[in-house]
Amino acid sequence: MSGCKSLVAFLLVFSLSLLTFCPLRVNAEEPTTPFVSAESAVLIEAQSGNVIYSKNADQRLPMASTTKIITALTALSQAHPDTVITANADAVGVEGSSIYLVEGEALTLEQLLYALLLESANDAAVAIAIGVSGSVEAFAEQMNLLADVLGLQDTHFVNPHGLDHEDHYTTASELAKLTRYALQNELIREIVGTRKTTIPHPGEVGTRLLVNHNKLLRLYEDCIGVKTGFTKRSGRCLVSAAERDGVTLIAVTLNAPNDWNDHTAMLDYGFAKYESVLLCDNEEYLFPLSVVGGADSYVLLVNADPLRVTLPKKRDEITVTVEAPHFAYAPVAEGETLGQVVFQCDTDGDGTPEMIAKTTLNTCYSVLRYTPKRSFWNWLCALFGK
């Protein structure tokens, strides 16, 4: 083990131990709740999914081109980014935002995803749907299957682009949940945070310039995405995400006349309420565990990795419980998990601590079984078969 720390005064043979950090009670000043113009809105903390702010967040509404978040997810669940897709006649001339695909033009799925998520290209959406599933209808079925897997009970899709349809809807809460999942995909995360790029133009000459419609990438310093949307029926729709000092927030507004300001206010509110907390550093917890029948009488347990979580700034104290057996039987392998450290905190002020994180305690080295050495007399008896 690289640099096991020297034993500290509270080393013990395990049962359960309670340790309390100090100072860990935080009494941050409560920020002012933002005014939001949207008909429906939600702000969540991405690590936990906890809701920070909501307004009619479970109301079913159209979501326009924010649909394309799940279009990208569905496509990548079915095909590799390098898959070449040839635009057919159905993908040419789709109403709304477009990159003006030409029938027979071939682009990779990744190139079409940039067009989909930056320029919000409806023709790219149809090309992807047909190229991946054979038809818009079959692709929509896959979109809905993915929604079911994610537990989105108030969401339904009939197309890959978000043009108006009475059976095409979601809620702000479920769109935030979907986005939280989508940002775990590295390629989607990279694309939605891209301000501009180019993809090939039909033929051998020229390129298409793709400029991200999400102005929040330029207006809000910590913004990392995600997607805009608009139709006359849906109004202005926006999904945004931002990162600051280890905290990631996701904001959603549906039918928001003043969406840029809504999101700025919501994100500022979230960053004022939450912070990233280092619960433990690597090798911060080091404990001896008795070993029965071992060449060594004990083995050291240690947490291998640092552990960081996002928590409300206004919270109660964090308590730490070390859980491990009283002893282990030899042999013990190096790196074997023989305990855990559990962190609890009352984060919502209801007086009930809940688990906020845990990390394993692993052995620093191996311990072999104890093998008694033979005496000379025992050696002689064994030699002559006595």
Q: Which residues are catalytic?
A: 65, 68, 120
In the chain, the amino acid numbered 268 is: D
Secondary structure (H, E, C), the chain: CCCCCCCCCCCCCCCEEEEECCCCCECCCCCCCCCCCCCEEEEEECCCCCEEEEECCCCCECCHHHHHHHHHHHHHHHCCCCCEEECCHHHCCCCCCCCCCCCCCEEEHHHHHHHHHHCCCHHHHHHHHHHHHCCHHHHHHHHHHHHHHCCCCCCECCCCCCCCCCCCEECHHHHHHHHHHHCCCHHHHHHHCCCEEEEECCCCCCEEEEECCCCHHHHCCCEEEEEEEEECCCEEEEEEEEEECCEEEEEEEECCCCHHHHHHHHHHHHHHHEEEEEEECCCCCEEEEEEECECCCEEEEECCCCEEEEEECCECCEEEEEECCCEEECCECCCCEEEEEEEEECCCCCCCCEEEEEEEEEECCCECECCCCCCHHHHHHHHCCC
In the chain, the amino acid numbered 314 is: K
As a whole number of angstroms, the distance between CA 263 and CA 241 comes to: 9
Q: Are 20 and 5 in contact (CB under 8 A)?
A: no
Q: How many CB atoms within 10 Å of residue 349?
A: 10
Helix (H, G, I), strand (E, B) or coil at 222: coil
Q: Residue 134 has which token pair?
A: 């054979």
